[in-house]
Protein backbone atom coordinates (compact mmCIF):
# COMPACT_ATOMS: atom_id res chain seq x y z
CA UNK A 1 0.00 0.00 0.00
CA UNK A 2 1.30 3.44 -0.87
CA UNK A 3 0.24 7.08 -0.99
CA UNK A 4 1.91 9.68 -3.24
CA UNK A 5 4.51 7.10 -4.15
CA UNK A 6 5.53 6.43 -0.52
CA UNK A 7 5.04 2.92 0.85
CA UNK A 8 3.13 2.70 4.13
CA UNK A 9 4.54 1.01 7.22
CA UNK A 10 4.97 -2.77 6.95
CA UNK A 11 2.32 -3.36 9.63
CA UNK A 12 -0.45 -1.49 7.75
CA UNK A 13 -0.12 -2.81 4.21
CA UNK A 14 -3.81 -3.80 4.05
CA UNK A 15 -7.00 -1.92 4.94
CA UNK A 16 -8.43 -2.32 8.44
CA UNK A 17 -12.19 -2.86 8.15
CA UNK A 18 -15.02 -2.10 10.58
CA UNK A 19 -15.17 -4.57 13.46
CA UNK A 20 -11.57 -5.71 13.04
CA UNK A 21 -9.27 -5.59 16.05
CA UNK A 22 -6.38 -3.14 15.68
CA UNK A 23 -3.20 -4.72 17.01
CA UNK A 24 -0.47 -2.81 18.86
CA UNK A 25 1.94 -3.06 15.93
CA UNK A 26 -0.74 -1.62 13.63
CA UNK A 27 -1.28 1.33 15.98
CA UNK A 28 2.45 1.90 16.01
CA UNK A 29 2.54 1.73 12.21
CA UNK A 30 -0.27 4.29 11.91
CA UNK A 31 1.53 6.64 14.31
CA UNK A 32 4.81 6.18 12.45
CA UNK A 33 3.23 6.89 9.05
CA UNK A 34 1.39 9.94 10.39
CA UNK A 35 4.68 11.38 11.65
CA UNK A 36 6.40 10.56 8.34
CA UNK A 37 3.73 12.40 6.32
CA UNK A 38 3.78 15.34 8.76
CA UNK A 39 7.55 15.70 8.58
CA UNK A 40 7.63 15.26 4.80
CA UNK A 41 6.05 18.65 4.04
CA UNK A 42 4.27 19.60 0.83
CA UNK A 43 3.81 16.93 -1.85
CA UNK A 44 5.15 17.47 -5.36
CA UNK A 45 2.86 18.82 -8.12
CA UNK A 46 3.84 15.92 -10.43
CA UNK A 47 1.41 13.77 -8.43
CA UNK A 48 -1.43 16.06 -9.57
CA UNK A 49 -3.77 16.17 -12.57
CA UNK A 50 -3.48 19.23 -14.87
CA UNK A 51 -6.50 20.99 -16.37
CA UNK A 52 -7.16 24.42 -17.90
CA UNK A 53 -10.33 25.68 -16.14
CA UNK A 54 -10.54 29.16 -17.73
CA UNK A 55 -9.51 30.72 -21.03
CA UNK A 56 -9.75 33.94 -23.02
CA UNK A 57 -8.39 34.71 -26.48
CA UNK A 58 -7.57 37.99 -28.20
CA UNK A 59 -9.15 37.30 -31.61
CA UNK A 60 -7.41 39.23 -34.38
CA UNK A 61 -10.47 39.11 -36.67
CA UNK A 62 -12.60 40.79 -33.99
CA UNK A 63 -10.17 42.95 -32.01
CA UNK A 64 -7.39 43.64 -34.49
CA UNK A 65 -3.66 43.07 -34.32
CA UNK A 66 -2.04 44.15 -31.06
CA UNK A 67 1.04 46.07 -30.15
CA UNK A 68 1.70 47.28 -26.62
CA UNK A 69 0.55 45.18 -23.67
CA UNK A 70 -2.01 42.40 -23.17
CA UNK A 71 -3.10 41.51 -19.63
CA UNK A 72 -5.41 38.96 -18.02
CA UNK A 73 -5.85 37.78 -14.41
CA UNK A 74 -6.98 34.31 -13.29
CA UNK A 75 -8.25 34.06 -9.70
CA UNK A 76 -8.54 30.74 -7.87
CA UNK A 77 -10.83 30.79 -4.79
CA UNK A 78 -11.43 28.23 -2.02
CA UNK A 79 -14.28 28.09 0.50
CA UNK A 80 -11.89 28.70 3.39
CA UNK A 81 -8.21 29.01 4.21
CA UNK A 82 -7.94 25.43 5.47
CA UNK A 83 -9.11 24.09 2.10
CA UNK A 84 -6.58 26.29 0.30
CA UNK A 85 -3.73 25.12 2.54
CA UNK A 86 -4.60 21.43 2.21
CA UNK A 87 -4.81 21.79 -1.58
CA UNK A 88 -1.28 23.18 -1.83
CA UNK A 89 0.11 20.85 0.87
CA UNK A 90 -1.15 17.87 -1.13
CA UNK A 91 0.73 18.92 -4.27
CA UNK A 92 -1.78 21.27 -5.87
CA UNK A 93 -0.65 24.25 -7.95
CA UNK A 94 -2.22 27.12 -9.91
CA UNK A 95 -1.04 29.37 -12.72
CA UNK A 96 -1.43 30.56 -16.30
CA UNK A 97 -0.36 29.73 -19.84
CA UNK A 98 -0.10 31.95 -22.91
CA UNK A 99 -0.04 30.94 -26.58
CA UNK A 100 -0.43 32.08 -30.17
CA UNK A 101 -3.15 29.77 -31.47
CA UNK A 102 -4.02 28.63 -34.98
CA UNK A 103 -1.54 30.90 -36.74
CA UNK A 104 -0.54 29.76 -40.23
CA UNK A 105 1.15 32.92 -41.59
CA UNK A 106 4.81 33.80 -41.87
CA UNK A 107 5.03 37.15 -40.07
CA UNK A 108 8.35 37.03 -38.15
CA UNK A 109 7.05 39.10 -35.22
CA UNK A 110 4.12 36.75 -34.67
CA UNK A 111 6.33 33.68 -35.09
CA UNK A 112 8.74 35.10 -32.50
CA UNK A 113 5.88 35.43 -29.99
CA UNK A 114 4.66 31.93 -30.87
CA UNK A 115 8.11 30.53 -30.06
CA UNK A 116 8.45 32.60 -26.87
CA UNK A 117 5.12 31.46 -25.42
CA UNK A 118 5.70 27.84 -26.43
CA UNK A 119 9.04 27.87 -24.63
CA UNK A 120 7.51 29.54 -21.57
CA UNK A 121 4.72 26.95 -21.27
CA UNK A 122 2.75 26.69 -18.04
CA UNK A 123 3.80 29.14 -15.33
CA UNK A 124 2.46 28.11 -11.94
CA UNK A 125 2.73 28.53 -8.19
CA UNK A 126 3.06 25.52 -5.90
CA UNK A 127 3.28 25.49 -2.08
CA UNK A 128 6.93 26.44 -1.74
CA UNK A 129 8.08 27.47 -5.19
CA UNK A 130 7.12 28.08 -8.81
CA UNK A 131 7.70 26.49 -12.21
CA UNK A 132 8.07 27.71 -15.81
CA UNK A 133 9.59 26.43 -19.02
CA UNK A 134 11.78 29.48 -19.68
CA UNK A 135 12.62 32.94 -18.38
CA UNK A 136 13.82 34.00 -14.93
CA UNK A 137 11.88 32.06 -12.32
CA UNK A 138 11.56 33.68 -8.86
CA UNK A 139 10.75 30.34 -7.18
CA UNK A 140 8.17 32.13 -5.01
CA UNK A 141 5.46 29.81 -3.77
CA UNK A 142 2.04 30.18 -2.21
CA UNK A 143 3.67 30.66 1.19
CA UNK A 144 5.59 33.69 -0.16
CA UNK A 145 2.57 35.55 -1.51
CA UNK A 146 1.47 38.95 -0.19
CA UNK A 147 -1.46 41.23 -0.97
CA UNK A 148 0.57 42.99 -3.67
CA UNK A 149 1.70 41.31 -6.86
CA UNK A 150 5.00 39.39 -6.57
CA UNK A 151 6.94 38.34 -9.67
CA UNK A 152 6.73 34.63 -10.44
CA UNK A 153 8.52 34.64 -13.80
CA UNK A 154 9.95 37.26 -16.15
CA UNK A 155 10.78 36.15 -19.69
CA UNK A 156 12.47 39.17 -21.22
CA UNK A 157 14.08 39.80 -24.57
CA UNK A 158 14.46 37.66 -27.64
CA UNK A 159 16.45 37.40 -30.83
CA UNK A 160 16.98 40.68 -32.73
CA UNK A 161 15.04 42.74 -33.51
CA UNK A 162 12.58 41.52 -30.82
CA UNK A 163 14.79 42.21 -27.82
CA UNK A 164 12.22 44.49 -26.13
CA UNK A 165 9.42 41.89 -25.97
CA UNK A 166 8.67 40.20 -22.67
CA UNK A 167 6.17 38.00 -20.85
CA UNK A 168 5.63 38.52 -17.12
CA UNK A 169 3.66 36.43 -14.62
CA UNK A 170 3.02 37.64 -11.07
CA UNK A 171 0.63 36.68 -8.27
CA UNK A 172 -0.97 37.84 -5.03
CA UNK A 173 -3.30 36.50 -2.31
CA UNK A 174 -6.38 38.20 -0.89
CA UNK A 175 -4.87 38.32 2.61
CA UNK A 176 -1.80 36.93 4.34
CA UNK A 177 -3.41 35.74 7.60
CA UNK A 178 -6.15 33.43 6.32
CA UNK A 179 -5.92 33.53 2.51
CA UNK A 180 -8.75 32.00 0.52
CA UNK A 181 -7.76 33.06 -3.00
CA UNK A 182 -4.73 33.61 -5.18
CA UNK A 183 -4.72 35.73 -8.35
CA UNK A 184 -2.20 35.00 -11.09
CA UNK A 185 -1.64 37.70 -13.72
CA UNK A 186 -0.05 37.33 -17.15
CA UNK A 187 1.25 40.41 -18.99
CA UNK A 188 2.57 40.25 -22.56
CA UNK A 189 4.46 43.33 -23.73
CA UNK A 190 5.27 43.84 -27.39
CA UNK A 191 8.05 46.42 -27.23
CA UNK A 192 9.57 48.54 -29.98
CA UNK A 193 11.32 46.24 -32.46
CA UNK A 194 14.51 48.04 -33.40
CA UNK A 195 12.63 51.27 -34.09
CA UNK A 196 9.68 49.62 -35.86
CA UNK A 197 6.91 48.37 -33.56
CA UNK A 198 5.35 45.69 -35.77
CA UNK A 199 2.01 44.30 -34.50
CA UNK A 200 1.31 40.71 -33.49
CA UNK A 201 -0.95 39.16 -36.10
CA UNK A 202 -1.93 35.86 -34.42
CA UNK A 203 -4.82 35.12 -32.05
CA UNK A 204 -3.35 35.30 -28.54
CA UNK A 205 -4.67 33.08 -25.75
CA UNK A 206 -4.20 33.33 -21.99
CA UNK A 207 -5.72 30.59 -19.83
CA UNK A 208 -5.67 29.33 -16.26
CA UNK A 209 -3.72 26.24 -15.22
CA UNK A 210 -4.86 24.02 -12.33
CA UNK A 211 -2.96 21.06 -10.85
CA UNK A 212 -5.45 19.10 -8.71
CA UNK A 213 -3.91 16.70 -6.14
CA UNK A 214 -4.30 13.03 -7.05
CA UNK A 215 -5.55 11.14 -3.98
CA UNK A 216 -4.26 7.80 -5.32
CA UNK A 217 -7.10 5.82 -3.76
CA UNK A 218 -6.27 7.13 -0.28
CA UNK A 219 -9.79 8.23 0.57
CA UNK A 220 -8.61 11.78 1.21
CA UNK A 221 -10.26 14.70 -0.57
CA UNK A 222 -8.75 18.07 -1.40
CA UNK A 223 -11.39 20.65 -2.39
CA UNK A 224 -10.53 22.26 -5.72
CA UNK A 225 -10.94 26.02 -6.11
CA UNK A 226 -13.41 27.85 -8.28
CA UNK A 227 -11.75 29.78 -11.10
CA UNK A 228 -12.54 32.99 -12.92
CA UNK A 229 -10.63 35.05 -15.45
CA UNK A 230 -10.74 38.66 -16.58
CA UNK A 231 -11.04 39.41 -20.27
CA UNK A 232 -7.75 40.12 -22.00
CA UNK A 233 -7.23 43.88 -22.23
CA UNK A 234 -4.76 45.91 -24.31
CA UNK A 235 -2.99 49.01 -23.08
Buried b (16+ CB within 10 A) or exposed e, 95-124: bbbbbbeebeeebebbbbbbebbeebbbbb
Q: In terms of residue numbers, what domain contains 181?
A: 42-234
- Check whether residue 22 and residue 127 sit in a common domain: no
SS3 category, 175: coil
- Check whether residue 143 and residue 161 sit in a common domain: yes
Distance CA 44, CA 88 (A): 9
- Check whether residue 200 and residue 87 sit in a common domain: yes
Distance CA 199, CA 192 (A): 10
- Check whether residue 87 and residue 120 sit in a common domain: yes
- Check whether residue 47 and residue 27 sit in a common domain: no
pTM of the model: 0.82
Show Cβ contacts of residue 26 under 8 Å, excluding neighbours closer than 6 positions.
Answer: 11, 12, 16
In a 10 Å sphere around its CB, with 0-12 CB exposed, 13-18 middle and 19+ buried, how is residue 172 labelled?
buried
- Using a pLDDT cut of 90, give the percent of the chain over it: 63
Distance CA 45, CA 92 (A): 6
- Using a pLDDT cut of 70, give the percent of the chain over it: 77
- Check whether residue 17 and residue 119 sit in a common domain: no
According to the model, what pLDDT value does residue 161 have? 81
210-220: pLDDT as tens digits: 999 887 656 67
- Check whether residue 114 and residue 204 sit in a common domain: yes
- Check whether residue 178 and residue 213 sit in a common domain: yes
- Check whether residue 29 and residue 125 sit in a common domain: no
- Check whether residue 32 and residue 72 sit in a common domain: no
According to the model, what pLDDT value does residue 153 have? 98
SS3 category, 67: coil
189-201: pLDDT as tens digits: 998 765 566 899 9
How many domains does the structure of the chain reveal? 2
- Check whether residue 159 and residue 189 sit in a common domain: yes
Predicted confidence (pLDDT) at residue 114 exceeds the cutoff of 60: yes
According to the model, what pLDDT value does residue 90 have? 86
35-80: pLDDT as tens digits: 555 545 566 666 688 999 999 999 999 999 998 999 999 999 999 9
Q: Region 118-132: what's the mean pLDDT?
A: 96
Amino acid sequence: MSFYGVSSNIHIQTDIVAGQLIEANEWNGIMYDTKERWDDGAKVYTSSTKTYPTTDTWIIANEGTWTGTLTSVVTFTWTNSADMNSFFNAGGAVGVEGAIVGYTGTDPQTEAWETKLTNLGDVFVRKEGSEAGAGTNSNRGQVDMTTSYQDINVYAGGSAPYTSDWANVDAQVNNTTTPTSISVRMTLRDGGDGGVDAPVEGDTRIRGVLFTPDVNGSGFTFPAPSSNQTNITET
